[in-house]
Amino acid sequence: MTTRTRILITGASSGLGEGMARRFAAAGRDLALCARRTERLDALAAELTERHPGIRVTTAGLDVNRHDDVFSVFRSFRDELGGLDRVVVNAGLGKGQPVGSGYFEANKQTVETNMVAALAQCEAAMEIFREQNAGHLVVVSSFSAIRGMPRNMTAYGASKAGVSALADGIRADVHGSPIRVSTVLPGFIESEMTSRSGGRTPLVADADRGTDSLVRAIESERAVSYVPSWPWTPLSVLLKALPVGVFRRLV
């Protein structure tokens, strides 16, 4: 399998993005890291290059909802590193409220960030990969994409289902070419997002285990991966089959 040496990660200043950056850096990969919080990015880049002096780490501030900036930042990273081998579409937003409860703006922001901005990132990455005739697009979806979710998760789950379908379509479009497309669907992994649940999130994996599983899934370049594989792969089968009343009580 091809070793992807130049990796771009969006939403890299914290959580899963930061964790992936640390593990890829330890494996000797060159990194292009972007997020809105540039101070945290720069501190992370300085730490990684000090620990792993053989790698290059470049950073840029990026709000993925500024779509023109997505294209310009990705192209700038490509030029600086001499190409991109893997792009991880990771930036996302987790806020939301039940539909019809007066929080349209919050739900809209979640859908715009997780779906429309993800489309911009996929477009920018795939333009580069099509020009290179090579590359690995990784779309970070969510376990909540497997079926319609109730309560605060409705808009979030719908946005992640949309981005999963987007990745599926891109994968079909480039099937048989040197370009690979992977969808990873994390379950509950410790992060700033899960911490806002007030400790009520079930089956949460600690950040190290969750990130290790995520990176292994990415490196395998499988089409679709639930991470951590246990318990989320069998649960994906179970929860799809449950009657809606039982499903609602469980989630």
103 a catalytic residue: no
Vertex 238, ends 197 and 100: CA angle to 5°?
A: 45
Choosing from 24, 129, 143, 156, the catalytic residue is: 156
Within the chain, residue ranges assigned H as helices are: 15-26, 38-51, 67-81, 104-111, 117-132, 154-173, 192-195, 207-220, 229-241, 244-250
Say how far apart CA 236 and CA 251 lie, in whole Å.
Answer: 13
- Bridge partners of 202, per DSSP, are none
- 174, two tokens: 């480039």
Which residues are marked as active site? 156
